[in-house]
Amino acid sequence: MTAENVDYDLLIPNNVGLAEDPKLRRALEQWHPGYIDWWMSMGPEGFQMADVWLRTAISVEKEGWAKFDYVKMPEYRWGILLAPEVEGRTIPCGEHVGEPVWTEVPGPYRAMLRRLIVIQGDTEPASVEQQRHLGSTAPSIYDMRNLFQVNVEEGRHLWAMVYLLQKYFGRDGREEAQELLQRQSGSDEKPRMLGAFNESTPDWLSFFMFTYFTDRDGKMQLEALAQSGFDPLSRTCRFMLAEEAHHMFVGYTGVKRIVERTAQAMVEGGVDDPYDIDAVRRLGVIDLPAIQRKTNLHFSLTLDLFGSEESTNAANFFNAGIKGRFHEDRLEDDHRLVDDTYPVTKLVDGELRQVEVPALNALNARLRDDFIDDCQGGISRWNNELSARGIDFLIELPNVAFNRNIGEFAGISVSPDGRLVAEGEFEAKKGKWLPTSDDQAYIESLMQPQLEPGEFAGWIAHPARGIQGKPTDFEYVKLP
């Protein structure tokens, strides 16, 4: 078996030589039943026996790594896949920059590494739990299939982190792997570790916003971990990124199709004013101000996932060489940052101002800035759907300080356009800025399933094309 090919003969498909590592194989096989129990009780509700046209990874080569076929989700071949080793790779940042990468856990950084892997691992099952009720309101079976594809791959990403814990962290790694199946999104007793992963995903607009914004935090964090000097983590994350691209495609095209449908309906129905909510809702589509409010919510929740703007944890991860910056290996500086500064927006004398701070402490802010840049492209294309039809409305990202619970802006009140406001004003205008119970009730009233191949709910446009060359009316999910 070469590193590029995946061994499908074992219960757990892999390209990590599991057949020759009985100890690890035993640990993973012992974890497997608990995972399946978790999937059956916390995974997609109501569709476990359906045949879903899913992609499964069969190689880690750039081309032709996946095959598509009908699979019942509990029979999906969750596996352990690492991107190929890069010969001569060196630690890309921090005090060990230029030294050969570690293939075993570096002793002094063991606790830090384990924590990063556990946090990453915790988000994967959390998102499956958050999305488990959505199948029953799918706007089409094309969309339903995309939801399930995202879900099984998040399950595989959990396997990816569990592999690292069990292979490299001994007993405490095995205990952490168990805990990953025990915490639960939204639970009072054992919640998931990061804030946004305990929020609900009550409707498909939220799902698409989540996959647009929050999966993109996943992308940025995986990009930063792909730069790790601990090579097994880097290789794992590099392969996860190949799968992650589809998740963001689902979010981007999902919101785009909703905006497109709203714009089409407004033109056809002769409604010019996007703020005439009653008129727009009479058309059976989602009004643009409600879409803006969902954008404000999901963007701000996701910004919290980057941690504090200034963080000694982040400086330590970087110095140790276990977490880099976005595209660290393409940046041209000394990769140590000891004498550098970085501009961070902060609250100074009652105003939001950019302040130069030591670059090492500003790594969370920097990754967050890279994330914001990455978000912008899709939003411009959503807006093109509006301008092309002469609709005078722009979907915009709110200011970084709006609605924050972690870091510099936690506990202060800032409007979406970046003005510091009194708490009273924030409360009074909250209904303009964040989704209201009325928005939620209306959106949920639209969430009626469309289960005939080729049929789409009236609030979302058809996709431009199907998946992997199949038509949009292909039977992506065969219901039992």
In the complex, which residues of this chain contact ligand BYC (CB under 6 A)? Answer: 116, 119-120, 123-124, 127, 154, 194-195, 214-215, 217-218, 221, 304-308, 311, 313-314, 364, 406
Could you tell me the smallest distance in angstroms from the CB atom of residue 155 to ligand BYC? 10
Residue with tokens 């992997």: 468
Three-point CA angle 251, 255, 256, nearest 5°: 110
Could you tell me the smallest distance in angstroms from the CB atom of residue 325 to ligand BYC? 12
If you count DSSP H runs as helices and E runs as strands, how many of each does the chain have, helices first? 13, 5
Q: In terms of CB distance, is 25 or 247 closer to ligand BYC?
A: 247
Tokens of 73: 């989700």
Nearest to residue 243, comparing CAs of 163, 150, 118?
Answer: 150
Could you tell me the smallest distance in angstroms from the CB atom of residue 468 to ligand BYC? 22
Q: In terms of CB distance, is 120 or 262 closer to ligand BYC?
A: 120
Could you tell me the smallest distance in angstroms from the CB atom of residue 133 to ligand BYC? 16
Q: In terms of CB distance, is 35 or 306 closer to ligand BYC?
A: 306
Q: In terms of CB distance, is 115 or 174 closer to ligand BYC?
A: 115
**C-alpha–C-alpha distance, residues 210 and 301, integer Å:** 10
Please give the full DSSP string across 128-169, using - where no structure is assigned.
HHHTTTGGGG-SSHHHHHHHHHHHHHHHHHHHHHHHHHHHHS
Q: In terms of CB distance, is 316 or 383 closer to ligand BYC?
A: 316
* 121 close to 31: Cβ distance less than 8 angstroms: no
Residue 277 CA: distances (Å) to CA of 86, 87, 273, 287, 291: 55, 59, 8, 6, 12
Q: Which SS3 state, helix, strand or coil, does residue 102 take?
A: strand
Q: In terms of CB distance, is 203 or 408 closer to ligand BYC?
A: 408
Q: In terms of CB distance, is 121 or 274 closer to ligand BYC?
A: 121
Q: How many CB atoms lie within 10 A of CB 206?
A: 21
Q: In terms of CB distance, is 43 or 274 closer to ligand BYC?
A: 43
Residue with tokens 């830090």: 112
Could you tell me the smallest distance in angstroms from the CB atom of residue 265 to ligand BYC? 30
Could you tell me the smallest distance in angstroms from the CB atom of residue 100 to ligand BYC? 24
Could you tell me the smallest distance in angstroms from the CB atom of residue 368 to ligand BYC? 9
Could you tell me the smallest distance in angstroms from the CB atom of residue 266 to ligand BYC? 32
Nearest to residue 367, comparing CAs of 479, 235, 221, 249?
Answer: 221
Tokens of 460: 């979302």
Q: In terms of CB distance, is 24 or 406 closer to ligand BYC?
A: 406
Q: Which residue is nearest to ligand BYC (CB)?
A: 307
Could you tell me the smallest distance in angstroms from the CB atom of residue 124 to ligand BYC? 5
Residue ranges of the alpha helices (H) in 183-287?
204-209, 215-226, 231-269, 277-282
Amino acid at position 169, single letter: F
Could you tell me the smallest distance in angstroms from the CB atom of residue 379 to ligand BYC? 18
Q: What is the DSSP letter of 187?
A: -
**C-alpha–C-alpha distance, residues 249 and 464, integer Å:** 12
* 220 close to 198: Cβ distance less than 8 angstroms: no
Q: In terms of CB distance, is 195 or 284 closer to ligand BYC?
A: 195
Q: In terms of CB distance, is 79 or 274 closer to ligand BYC?
A: 79
Q: How many CB atoms lie within 10 A of CB 162?
A: 27
* 6 close to 59: Cβ distance less than 8 angstroms: yes
Q: What is the DSSP letter of 108?
A: G
- The contacts of residue 168 (CB under 8 Å, 6+ apart) are 104, 105, 232
* 59 close to 67: Cβ distance less than 8 angstroms: no
* 397 close to 418: Cβ distance less than 8 angstroms: no
Q: In terms of CB distance, is 218 or 321 closer to ligand BYC?
A: 218
Could you tell me the smallest distance in angstroms from the CB atom of residue 380 to ligand BYC? 23
Could you tell me the smallest distance in angstroms from the CB atom of residue 122 to ligand BYC? 8
